[in-house]
Every structure is written in structure tokens, then in C-alpha cells.
Amino acid sequence: MVNKSSILELIDERIIILDGALGSLLISQGLPAGMPPEIWNITNPDNIKRIHKEYFDAGSDVVLTNTFGGSRLKLLAHKQGNSIEEYNKKAVELAREVCSNEGYIAGDIGPSGVFLPPVGQATIEDFEENFAEQSQILSDAEVDLFFIETMVDLKEAETAVKVAKSVSNLPIFASITYQKTKKGYYTIMGDSVEQCVNVLERAGADAIGANCTIGSDDMIDLIPQIKQFTQLPIISKPNAGKPQLIQGETVYQASPKEFADDILQMVKSGSCIVGGCCGSNPEFIKEIKQLGI
């Protein structure tokens, strides 16, 4: 692996551009409904590499590995738990094959898919074991940072950050998914922006932010609220607008230009790590890059 500066040093110099959606692009390329995308790391590696390369070519500084659902608990739900090491290692390998000397590979870590009581029967110890295993595999495969994302349960997010910090000294980006309510922005578990920021900062995250659930227009007002409570770098990775079901297909309504204009507003409000989530694609990243931020 090429010796280069930490992503945290680059943040001090300029805005960091992440990639956009992966799952929705894989579905458009034929990933069957209900199949874990991580399987394609083995069965359809060229598709994964092509998407990663398109994002790098579009201007992404950081690409996330195809491991969002790659933890043991998540894979066990699809009877794929024994493949965790194979799927995660291969994901890093594929991203690394198309990564330039200036690019960065983020080990993507998503929710486990299980819940603490009273919603489910999971324990904090289950979370610890789950995230320790995946974090260690990704670290050993030489990712440049961890990206813990789309977390709906603050306790699960906190555990994932603490565990990742315990197995490696790699930078940790942590992102919560919020809902916009009449009373403000909250997780589905009822945690406020202030609570999420404070907990993740204490847990050891190096950058904090939001992704998924809400579109770029709704995330504009969220970023200043996050900014109130932290001096850490702020992540913005919204959906490409609100999804609409059209002829049985989920369609996201925002155009790349509209999306990039919203991202610019987030940058002006304090976000310095930006990208796209569901419904976005390399065209959205190109528009962000053309802003010259």
C-alpha cells in the first residue's frame, strides 16, 4: 500500500468528497432482491470494481467497500455468516485494485440488523463481538479508515465506534441516520442530534455526521444543528431526494445539479466531508466536484 497522509490531514486542507450509492446501482445491474450485496464481491467482482472506479473517476476522494452488511450478525440472517472473512477481504481487494495513489478506501460498517430489548433480544456483548470481528478483518485488509454508517440505534453506533477504536488506530467516521420531525431531527429510537454527537464524540469518532433516510434538501437544516455541538469534521451523505414508487420501482427525484447545490449549502454550514447515499450515482459526484469546493 502506498504511503500517504492520513485522511484526517487531508480534511485540514480541503473538502473531502465521498462516493455515492452502491446498493441501488447493484440492483440496477441485476442484484436480486434480498440477496446480500457482499456476495457479488465473489460472484460479480467486475461489477463492484467498475462502480468503485466510476466514483474515483468522478472525483471521489474516498470510496466505501462493499461491506455495509458484511458483519456476522447481518450475514447470518442470510445464512452467509461463515463467509464474513472472504467477503470483507475481497471487498477491500476490489476497491484497492482501482484506487489511485491519492485515493482512500473506507471499510464500510453498517447496522447489525438486530436490536436491543425491548425491540429485540440482542445484547451489547453481541454488538461488541460482531463489530470487533468485522473491524479486525477490514483493518488487517489495510483499509485507510472505518466508515460506520446508517446507524439508527445510538447504543449500537457507540459500540461500533468503541470497538473499531480498540482494534485499530485507523480514523473512524461515524454517521447516524435521522428523521425530520415537527420537533426537529431524531433517530427512530428518539435520540436527538445533541445526544448522538456527544455520545459518538466521547466514544472516539474522528468525524461525525448523517447519511440516508432524508434527502439533500432536508439535510441542509440538519448540518448547522450538528455544528452547534462539535468541533469535529462533519459528514453529509444524504439521499438523492425523497423516494417515489413509480410503476413498482423506487425512484429518487433529485437531479445531480439540485443535489450538488444542496451540498454546497451544507458546506457553507460547516460540513467538510460530503457525498451521496441512496439514489445517487457518479453523476452526482461529478456535479459536486464541479462546484470547486
CATH code for the domain in which residue 179 is found? 3.20.20.330
Question: Whole-angstrom Cα distance, residue 209 to residue 51?
Answer: 24
Could you tell me if residue 263 is inside a domain? yes
| pTM for the model | 0.96
Could you tell me if residue 34 is inside a domain? yes
Structural domain count of the chain: 1
Q: For cell 468503485, name the residue.
A: 52
Domain holding 16, by residue range, is 7-290
Could you tell me if residue 2 is inside a domain? no
Could you tell me if residue 1 is inside a domain? no
Q: For cell 450509492, name the residue.
A: 21
The three-state DSSP-derived secondary structure of the chain is CCCCCCHHHHHCCCCEECCCCCHHHHHHCCCCCCCCHHHHHHHCHHHHHHHHHHHHHHCCCEEECCCCCCCHHHHHCCCCHHHHHHHHHHHHHHHHHCCCCCCEEEEEECCCCCCCCCCCCCCHHHHHHHHHHHHHHHHHCCCCEEEEEEECCHHHHHHHHHHHHHHCCCCEEEEECCEEECCEEECCCCCEHHHHHHHHHHHCCCEEEEEEEEEHHHHCCHHHHHHHHCCCCEEEEEECCCEEEECCEEEECCCHHHHHHHHHHHHHCCEEEECCCCCCCHHHHHHHHHCCC
Could you tell me if residue 164 is inside a domain? yes
Yes or no: say if 279 and 241 are a contact pair by the CB < 8 Å rule: yes
pLDDT in tens, the chain (293 residues): 456 789 999 999 999 999 999 998 999 899 998 899 999 999 999 999 999 999 999 999 999 999 999 999 999 999 999 999 999 999 999 999 999 999 999 999 999 999 999 999 999 999 999 999 999 999 999 999 999 999 999 999 999 999 999 999 999 999 999 999 999 999 999 999 999 999 999 999 999 999 999 999 999 999 999 999 999 999 999 999 887 777 667 778 899 999 999 999 999 999 999 999 999 999 999 999 999 88
